[in-house]
Amino acid sequence: MKDATGFTLIELLVVIAIIGILSTVVLASLNSARSKSRDARRLSDLKQFQLALALYYDTNREYPDALSKIAPGLIASVPNDPSGQPYLYSAIQANDAACTNEATQNCVSYVIGATNFEGVVPPDPNTTIGSVPCANPTYCVRP
């Protein structure tokens, strides 16, 4: 009998199965990391909005009735949520009603919402504020 060199079919199938299992584990962890990354970007965007809105308030003594009024002067551009949707924003009057026209209404506060929060939503008011529904999975911040 000749001594056969190489791998048997069974050995190759076992190696292929192990590689398949390992790649499944790696892909599952990548999806989790991507989800956390999108949530981190949402939180970062909200902080940028808060800083720009604080600067706007310092200058105008009220908040804008639309996020577009802070760009390009106070923020380079108004970013969208990582899912492609715009962030929710509402300027608010003293009674928590939506402030739709800063020229005729006193916009004393605001609420910004990030929809599609994928991880654990940090504590926030789970009610509608102004025109922004803050129930989970939407995360809302106020000044």
What's the Rg (C-alpha) of the chain? Answer: 25
Higher pLDDT, 51 or 126: 51
**Segment 34-68, tens digit of pLDDT:** 888 888 899 899 999 999 999 999 998 999 988 88
Over residues 13-24, mean pLDDT: 92
57: phi then psi, degrees, rounded to nearest 5 = -65, -40
Please give the model's pTM, rounded to 2 decimal places: 0.74
Answer for the pair 141, 111: CB distance below 8 angstroms, yes or no.
yes
pLDDT at 1 over 70: no
Residue-averaged pLDDT of the chain: 86
77: phi then psi, degrees, rounded to nearest 5 = -155, 160
Could you state, in order of their start, the residue ranges of all structural domains in the chain? 42-141
Answer for the pair 134, 117: CB distance below 8 angstroms, yes or no.
no
Answer for the pair 114, 72: CB distance below 8 angstroms, yes or no.
no
* Residue 14, pLDDT score: 93
